[in-house]
Amino acid sequence: MKKLFRSLGQTYFYNIKLKQKFIISHFLVVLIPSFVIAILLYNQLSNIMLSNTIKSEQNLAKQTAGNIENTISSVKETADQIASDDFLKQILHTKPESMKDNLSSSEYFISEAGDYLSQIQSIIDYDNITAVKIYMDDYYKTFYDDPIISYKEVFKSTQSIEGSYWYGIFSSTSKQTLICPSLYLTPSEEKYNGELAYIRKMSVFHDGQELKAYVAVYFSKEKIDSILRKNMSIADSSSILLNEREALISSSNYALSGKYLIYYNDVIQNLTNTNNFKLVSFGRERVYMAYNQITDTDWIMVSLVPSTGVIEESSFIVWQFLISYVLVVLIAFFLSITLSGSIVKRISSVVDQMKQVKYGKPKNLYLKAGKDEVGDLVDTYNYMVDEMNDLLLKQSQDADALRLSEFRALQAQINPHFLYNTLDMINWLSKSGKSEEVSSAVQALSKFYKFTLSKGNPTVTVSEELTHVSLYVTLQNMRYNNKIHFLIDIPDELLEYEMPKLVFQPIVENAIQHGILGKESKEGNIVITGWLENDTIVFLISDNGVGIPPDKLPGILSGNQENRKGNNIGIYNTHKRLQLLYNNDYGLNYRSIENVETEVEIRIPAKIAETEK
């Protein structure tokens, strides 16, 4: 059995074609799990969906209760703000005769009254707060009947609300605040002010007599209704607001609210935990019921969800899931066939084209690549082919450029002016009878050109390159009476490293001809130093000649001055040759301070020269 499974695994993973592998994989991954889920998890899924539906209703009820609390809190804060205002406190503690004098003579008092009334008017937005009234005992009749105050219709006599239910509650209890449903209000209040109200009682004493005032903030019942309606996500469910006196404050559906007979105390006793739905019976109907206590009120929000609605909701979701899963299986098979065909076709094209590389130059694939990984593979292959072809072309061009650069460098070394001037100097020495100097000059010139014209390896050791440039400086000193002071400060460990030949001489020549000889004294110093910097050898050739003007520096290495100033061709060719041999990270770099110094930095890869066996 173990061998059988191993054989099947070997065949599946390595031997069968990709198209068949995709189809088998989709069959194993999609169809079998869906079949197992349909058989084993139907009941569990139903229970889970039922639980999730109940939890969703709980969260929605909690959110709705919070929205109602926020609305009540806003109204309460408004009433507290109005009641705590210094102007109202001043009115309540002022005797009528003094009040009359203030109204008739004090511009400050009139201004304060106007500001207070304007502030109250600004609070009324008719979306939430619909009206604000302050009811006062007849003791303050002088105040609220005055035309300055009465035209705003904010301050009223308590006689207008003595017949209301809420006034009776305040008169018979010690309550200081009350949230009133429409049942508690007079018909006039409900019609002109609003269907709900938050009322705050205020008491003061004058001459041993208790005087009362009531700050009433009326607010919209429609807004509370709309909040409750948003609490409903299942058909035939309902939410109602009750207070402890069994008064119906609001309902999401007044037609359904009469269907269930609910009492405040029964709800509190039967549902010990707030916001936890419990299955209860109303006649033959079973309903999930929960309640939320509305903070700072005697209200509770009761949520009623028929059990049939919850079951239908969860069953509908389960069937949706199963039907969707079947559709996914069918779509998966269709996609597996289409996808496998698309992938295999493009991969096969890449493989076939790559096989052709054995027999000739690589060619691009001309097919619709797409933007997936296989498309990236095709694009990458085409990019690789383009890069390879460009590289082959560039390699050929670089080889031609390198040969041309080396030829130009060699040509620059065979400088007819330098050779003519040196031979002329030898002739002058000979006529002067300086036979030893003639012999030295001829030997130096011979060694110089022997090194320059030697065939074979284009690279030499650092030691050999220094010898070559030293011969050049020796010949120049014979001509210019030893006014060129040449110093080499190279560590011994660098002498056996490898470098291209004919690098130092063009730079030193340029330093002599256009740096030192440009000075009035025709005398100067040239120093060659060097060091190892990680995997790079850095040489620095410095001179104290006349320097290079800043506007001329960029043209030296760019070749832009080649036609106008022939002396730069050797420098440019040296720089270009180093970049062709290595890359653009290497080559020459000029720095110069006019009439002070010039420094040329040379960077080449560090490589020990191979010794001949």
Lookup result for tokens 């889920």 = 37
> 498 lies in a domain?
yes
Q: So what's the pLDDT on residue 317?
A: 62
Residue 497 near residue 533 (C-beta atoms within 8 A): no
pLDDT for 409 beyond 70: no
Last residue in a domain, options 200, 221, 242: 221
> 320 lies in a domain?
no
**Tens digit of each residue's pLDDT (9 = 90 or more) over 28-52:** 666 677 667 666 666 666 666 667 7
Phi, psi of 259 (to 5 degrees): -75, -30
Confidence band, pLDDT 50/70/90 cuts, at residue 398: low
DSSP for 128-183?
Answer: SEEEEEEEE-GGGHHHHTSHHHHTTT-EEEGGGGTTSHHHHHHHHS--SEEEE-GG
Q: Tell me the C-alpha distance between 296 and 65, whole Å.
A: 12
First to last CA, the chain: 65
Mean per-residue pLDDT over the chain, rounded: 79
Q: So what's the pLDDT on residue 403?
A: 56
Which 8-state DSSP code applies to residue 547? -
Q: So what's the pLDDT on residue 589?
A: 94
**Tens digit of each residue's pLDDT (9 = 90 or more) over 181-236:** 988 999 999 999 999 999 999 988 877 788 889 999 999 888 888 888 887 677 77
SS3 at position 45: helix
Q: So what's the pLDDT on residue 564?
A: 38
Q: So what's the pLDDT on residue 563?
A: 41
The stretches of 151-282 forming alpha helices (DSSP H) are 165-172, 187-192, 221-229, 254-257, 264-270
Number of domains present in the structure of the chain: 2
Residue 132 near residue 88 (C-beta atoms within 8 A): no
> 407 lies in a domain?
yes
**Tens digit of each residue's pLDDT (9 = 90 or more) over 304-352:** 888 776 666 556 666 676 677 777 777 766 766 676 666 666 677 777 7
Confidence band, pLDDT 50/70/90 cuts, at residue 407: very low
Confidence band, pLDDT 50/70/90 cuts, at residue 531: very high
> 527 lies in a domain?
yes
In the 3-class helix/strand/coil scheme, how is 371-397 assigned residue by residue?
CCHHHHHHHHHHHHHHHHHHHHHHHHH
Q: Tell me the C-alpha distance between 280 and 286, whole Å.
A: 6
> 339 lies in a domain?
no
> 541 lies in a domain?
yes
Of residues 364 and 514, which shows the higher confidence score?
514
Arithmetic mean of pLDDT, 72-101? 82
User: pTM above 0.85?
Assistant: no
Q: So what's the pLDDT on residue 410?
A: 46
Q: Which of 136-145, 451-460, 513-522 has the lowest mean pLDDT?
A: 451-460
Last residue in a domain, options 173, 195, 221: 221
Q: Tell me the C-alpha distance between 345 and 349, whole Å.
A: 6
> 282 lies in a domain?
no
Arithmetic mean of pLDDT, 544-567? 74
pLDDT for 289 beyond 50: yes
Q: So what's the pLDDT on residue 288?
A: 85
pLDDT for 135 beyond 90: yes
Angle at 482 between CA 477 and CA 486, to 5 degrees: 75
Q: Print the domain residue range for 90.
A: 73-221
Q: Which of 3-12, 256-265, 304-313 has the lowest mean pLDDT?
A: 3-12
Of residues 523 and 554, which shows the higher confidence score?
523
Arithmetic mean of pLDDT, 406-417? 51
pLDDT for 567 beyond 60: no
Of residues 77 and 101, which shows the higher confidence score?
77
Q: So what's the pLDDT on residue 100?
A: 62
437-459 per-residue burial string, b: 16 or more CB within 10 A, e: under 16: bbebbeebbebbeebbeeeeeeb
Q: Which of 242, 240, 329, 263 has its CA nearest to residue 33? A: 329
Q: Tell me the C-alpha distance between 276 and 581, whole Å.
A: 82
Q: Tell me the C-alpha distance between 288 and 268, whole Å.
A: 15
> 236 lies in a domain?
no
Last residue in a domain, options 190, 221, 252: 221
Confidence band, pLDDT 50/70/90 cuts, at residue 360: low
pLDDT for 9 beyond 70: no
Taking residue 299's Cβ as centre, other Cβ atoms within 10 Å add up to 24
Q: So what's the pLDDT on residue 273?
A: 72
Question: CATH code at 537?
Answer: 3.30.565.10
pLDDT for 411 beyond 50: no
Q: Tell me the C-alpha distance between 54 and 276, whole Å.
A: 9
DSSP for 321-340?
Answer: HHHHHHHHHHHHHHHHHHHH
Confidence band, pLDDT 50/70/90 cuts, at residue 396: low
